[in-house]
Amino acid sequence: RILILDFGSQVTQLIARRVREAHVYSEIHPHDVDDAFVREFAPKGIILSGGPNSVTEDDTPRVPQVVFELGVPVLGICYGMQSMAEQLGGKVEGGHTREFGYAEIRAHGHTKLLSGIQDFETAEGYGMLKVWMSHGDKVTEIPPGFKLMASTPSCPIAGMADESRGFYAVQFHPEVTHTLQGRTILNRFVLELCGARPDWEMGHYIDEAVEHIRTQVGSEHVILGLSGGVDSSVAAALLHRAIGDQLTCVFVDHGLLRLNEAEQVMETFANHLGVKVIHIDASEAFLGKLAGVTDPEAKRKIIGAEFVEVFQTEAGKLSDARWLAQGTIYPDVIESAGKGKKGAHTIKSHHNVGGLPETLNLKLLEPLRELFKDEVRELGVALGLPPAMVYRHPFPGPGLGVRILGEVKREYADLLQRADSIFIETLRDTIDPASGKSWYELTSQAFAVFLPVRSVGVMGDGRTYEFVVALRAVQTQDFMTAHWAHLPHELLGNASNRIINEVRGINRVVYDISGKPPATIEWE
């Protein structure tokens, strides 16, 4: 197994993720663990992460001495490289310019770590790597015993190695995907240089997590707000595996979910997995509070506040509960990290339901906080959740509340649910011949939007005067920017025909062809 020592980089978890992808077990621990811990851990290799500090200052973190005495390979990344250089007799200086972004780096390919790995070759025959750099300080003198492993014009010592001791260090970040060969480099370190066994899989993660949760929780009771979304669903399934009936889920149904979603959530969790779920049908209360409200932000606030209110009332009835579990995942942790310049120093927990932990006086349990979205999905499937649930498009907390423009009414929600369900079914059923995938898989998010305006139509011999539905489908990596999906016209035609024929009250369907920016993905 591999020990990762964390010096506070925001991407330390990415290192762990890359090691997991190599099917090797790893653990992240703070840089100041004591020597005894490191010896007992008995790692096959150690990776030192980057970090926001400068080794040119005295009171900043250093690598525990034992790391250099164990006789196992060590890989220093960024700050990890700088502290390694400084502690082993080299020199580090504050850079005159910060280097941030892509760089092309010359790999001195004679080391075991980089030999034969390159993105392209220069005319002179030098192997080059396209890498991601983010640093202010740099190593200016190589420690005794080390040789140069990589360089750029602005950072002449961008990599160094002492192969007799198995010490390697790089100034760039192999853990981020912008470093094209990063995965290959980390795989080589972990599998070949450390000789770690590639026998780790998601099933093992479940065993470890279950063990950890049991130790943490003991015989106490846990509540979890189940939304039907991927993260809370996987958290519920994992907690149920660990502590069974000590877990109670509270499913607040605001009446603005997708068609049959409440039934599906209850079927999966209560009937299929045997999880204790309290289903609160609060649609009357939510719709009552929303009556007459048309402003999008006001609607969001009302739905959020009502959710907290209902959840809190139910949670208050569970007097045994000592823990509040949340499906916080790693990107949430990063997102809610303070914007302060010390970066990871200010990471704090992310509350999907703001304010709950404090007012309920519960301890916070976040069993997914080390995982990335795709890993959460993989875990969900391994825990027996239906793949269709686990691989579902994201759905906003306020639900159809922000997809019914203007005032929310039950009648509108009924029409929208049915139109939306037809659109989604059409996307799932239409296979793109080029990729063999369904259009549901080829889009990142797709849904229908209810427009409370009427237009004229004809049906049979009669004139109709009914509502409009807009279809929206986007492709995006991060949901910050998005392209509208170029769906086949036939697919759009089929969805439109079915909606107009089957949903009485809708006589017109339009397709949204706006990108984000300037439009947003949701209409409100």
Among 77, 396, 472, 509, binds ligand XMP (CB under 6 A): 396
Q: Is 393 an annotated catalytic residue?
A: no
Shortest Å distance, C-beta 455 to ligand XMP: 25
Among 95, 296, 357, 397, binds ligand XMP (CB under 6 A): 397
**Total residues at interface with ligand XMP (CB under 6 A):** 11
Shortest Å distance, C-beta 516 to ligand XMP: 5
Q: Which residue of the set 173, 240, 254, 350 is catalytic?
A: 173
The nearer residue to ligand XMP, 170 or 303, going by C-beta atoms, is 303
The nearer residue to ligand XMP, 322 or 516, going by C-beta atoms, is 516
Q: What are the tokens at 130?
A: 């396209």
Cβ-in-10-Å burial (0-12, 13-18, 19+) of 71 comes to exposed
Q: What are the tokens at 221?
A: 């009771």
Among 101, 198, 479, 513, binds ligand XMP (CB under 6 A): 479
Among 1, 112, 300, 483, binds ligand XMP (CB under 6 A): 300
CA–CA distances in Å: residue 182 to residues 173, 174, 188, 269: 7, 4, 10, 40
The nearer residue to ligand XMP, 65 or 349, going by C-beta atoms, is 349
Cis before 144? omega within 30:
no
Q: Is 194 an annotated catalytic residue?
A: no
* Cα 363 to chain centroid, rounded: 23
When computed from its CA atoms, the radius of gyration of the chain, rounded to whole angstroms, is 27
Residue 404 within binding range of ligand XMP, rule CB under 6 A: no
Task: Give, to the nearest 10 degrees, the angle between helix 202-217 and helix 373-382.
Answer: 90
Strand 159-162 to 147-151 pairing = antiparallel
| Range in contact with ligand XMP (rule: CB under 6 A) among 79-87, 360-368, 485-493, 515-523 | 515-523
Site string for ligand XMP, 168-207 (x = CB under 6 A): ----------------------------------------
The nearer residue to ligand XMP, 354 or 387, going by C-beta atoms, is 354
Among 209, 398, 485, 492, binds ligand XMP (CB under 6 A): 398
The nearer residue to ligand XMP, 322 or 483, going by C-beta atoms, is 483
| Range in contact with ligand XMP (rule: CB under 6 A) among 141-149, 360-368, 392-400, 433-441 | 392-400
Among 349, 435, 455, 520, binds ligand XMP (CB under 6 A): 520
CA–CA distances in Å: residue 337 to residues 8, 10, 348, 372: 12, 9, 6, 16
**3-state class of 347 per DSSP?**
coil
How many Cα atoms occupy the beta-carbon half-sphere of 84 within 13 Å?
33
Shortest Å distance, C-beta 135 to ligand XMP: 32
Task: Give, to the nearest 10 degrees, the angle between helix 373-382 and helix 230-243.
Answer: 50
Q: What are the tokens at 401?
A: 């509340």
Q: Is 502 an annotated catalytic residue?
A: no
Q: What are the tokens at 14?
A: 């990415």
- The 10 Å Cβ neighbour count of residue 143 is 18
Site string for ligand XMP, 444-473 (x = CB under 6 A): -x----------------------------
How many Cα atoms occupy the beta-carbon half-sphere of 206 within 13 Å?
21
Closest CA to 171 of 148, 144, 145: 148
Q: What are the tokens at 432?
A: 């793109």
Q: Where does this chain bind ligand XMP (CB under 6 A)?
A: 300, 394, 396-398, 445, 479, 516, 520-522
